[in-house]
Amino acid sequence: MPGTDPVAQVVLWLAIILVIAKLGGDLAVRLKQPPVVGELVLGVLLGNLGLAAPMKNDPSIDLLAHIGVVILLFEVGLDSTVREMIEVAPSSLLVAAAGVLAPFGLGWLVAAWLLPHEGALVHAFVGATLCATSVGITARVLHDLGRSATVEARVILGAAVVDDVLALVLLAVVTGAIQANARGAGPSPVEIALVFAKAAGFLVGSLALGLKLSRPLFRAAALLKSRDVLLAAGLGTCFTLAWLSARIGLSPIIGAFAAGLLLESAHYRDFVERGEPSLEVYVHPIASFLVPIFFVVMGLRTDLRALAHPRALALAGALTVAACLGKQACSLGVVQKGVDRLSVGIGMMPRGEVGLIFAGAGASLTVGGQRVIDPPTFSAVVAMVVLTTLVTPPALEWSLLRSERRARL
C-alpha cells in the first residue's frame, strides 16, 4: 500500500518465519529429531504450496538469514578453543582433504555417466558442487544435541572449515578454467596459488594475531562502565573477522568461526568477575532469533517441481548417493583413537548454503554460449543439497547415540 512503512512488511515476515520455525521445531522434537529438521521441512512444504512467495524473496529477510549463519558459527566457535582444534588438527586436515577429493571424483563420474553430451568442464563443475560441507547445518545439529564439545564435533567442525577453504579453491580453479576456455586460454597457476595463499593466510593469521590482541583489547573494554560492553566487543570481533574473510574472497562464516575460536573465557574474565554473564550467555538469545530464519528461508526457496524432469530426478538420486559416499570416505582420515568415524563421515555430509552457492555460480557461467549448469541439472544439484541436509540431523543423532552406547558397554 502507498505510504506504508517498509519495515512493517519485514516485521510481518519475521513474525511468520518465527512461528514456522517454532512449530516445525516442536514437531521435530516430538518425533525425537533435532529442531533444525522441522524448520527445514516445514519451510519446504510452505514454499511449495505457494504460501510464501513474497517472503522468501524479500532482500531484508535474506540479509537477516545470512547474518543468522554468521552468528551461528560464532556461537559454535565459542564452544571450542584454538587449543582444542589444534589437538585434532591432523585428523581435521586429512578428513578435509579426503572430503574434497572423494566427492569431486565421484561427482565427475556421475556427471560423465548421466550427462555424456556435456564437456569435461561441466563434469568437473558438477563434481565441485559436491565438495563443500555446510558447517552451519552440522554445527546447528551438534549444538541442538549438546555435542558441540565432543572430539567428533571438533574434528568435524575443524575439517568442515578446511573443507570449505579447499572447496572454494577448487571452485576458483574450475571457474577459472571455464572462463579461460571462453577466452581461448588456460587457467593461470598464479591465480590458483593466490586463492590458496589468501585462504590459508587468513585462517592462520587471524587466529595468531587474534590470540595476541584479544586479551588486552577486552581488558581495555572492561574499563568502560556502560552496560553490555562484553556483547558489543564480542560481536564486533565476530563481524570484523567475517568482513575480512569476505574481503579476501572467503565465506564470512569462516571469519565468524575463527572469531569464536580465539575468544576464550580467560579473555573476558574481568567482565565475569564483576558479575556479568559469559559471552555465550549473551549471544544465545540473539542466535535463537536469527539462526532459525536462515533454515526456514532455505526451505522456502526449495522448488520440488523442478524435479519433474526425468533426467533431473535420476541425476539428483545419483549425485546424492555420490555425495554421501564421498563424505563417508573422508572419515578414513581420522587418526585420533576413540573417535567414531561413522559420526565424522555423517557430520560432513550436508551441503546446505555452501552447495547452493556453488550451484548458483555454475548457473551464471557459460561454455560455448550455453550455461554450465542448465535448469534440470541445477534442480538436481539443489535436490542433492536438500537431501543431504535433511538426512544428516537424524543420521548424526543416531550415530552419536550408537557411539555412546558402545562406549558405555
Contacts of 122 (CB under 8 A, 6+ apart): 111, 115, 367, 372, 373
pLDDT of residue 286: 93
Mean pLDDT of the chain: 80
Quick one: cell of 22? 517454532
User: How would DSSP label each residue in 174-191?
Assistant: HHHHHHHHHHTS---HHH
Give the integer Cα–Cα distance in Å for 125 and 130: 9
Q: At what angle do helices 375-408 and 135-144 cross, to 10 degrees?
A: 30
pLDDT of residue 85: 62
pLDDT in tens, 259-298: 888 888 777 888 888 888 888 889 989 998 998 898 888 7
Q: How many CA atoms lie within 13 A of 44 on its CB side?
A: 17
pLDDT in tens, 174-184: 776 776 666 66
- The fold for domain 6-408 equals Na+/H+ antiporter like fold (1.20.1530)
| Residue whose C-alpha cell reads 544428516 in the numeric block | 392
pLDDT in tens, 17-40: 999 999 988 988 787 666 877 887
Contacts of 370 (CB under 8 A, 6+ apart): none
pLDDT of residue 240: 93
pLDDT of residue 298: 76
338-368 as b/e, with b when 16 or more CB fall inside 10 Å? Answer: ebbbbbbbbbbbbbbbbbbbbbebbbebebe
Low-confidence ranges of the chain (pLDDT < 70): 1-4, 32-34, 80-89, 136, 164-165, 168, 172, 176, 179-189, 191-192, 194-196, 199, 249, 352-354, 356-357, 360-361, 363-364, 367-369
pLDDT of residue 106: 93
Handedness of CA 112, 364, 73, 27 (dihedral sign): negative
pLDDT of residue 157: 78
Q: Which helix (H) or strand (E) holds 33?
A: none
In one-letter notation, the amino acid at residue 266 is A
126-149 as b/e, with b when 16 or more CB fall inside 10 Å? Answer: bbbbbbbbbbbbbbbbbbbbebbe
For residue 41, which of 276, 390, 409, 336 has the smallest C-alpha distance? 390
Q: Where are the domains of the chain?
A: 6-408
pLDDT of residue 398: 86
Share of the chain above pLDDT 70, in %: 85
Q: Are 219 and 270 in contact (CB under 8 A)?
A: yes
Give the integer Cα–Cα distance in Å for 36 and 59: 23
C-alpha 397: how far from chain center = 18
pLDDT of residue 109: 94
Under DSSP, is residue 295 helix (H, G, I), strand (E, B) or coil? Answer: helix
pLDDT in tens, 1-10: 455 677 888 8
pLDDT of residue 360: 67
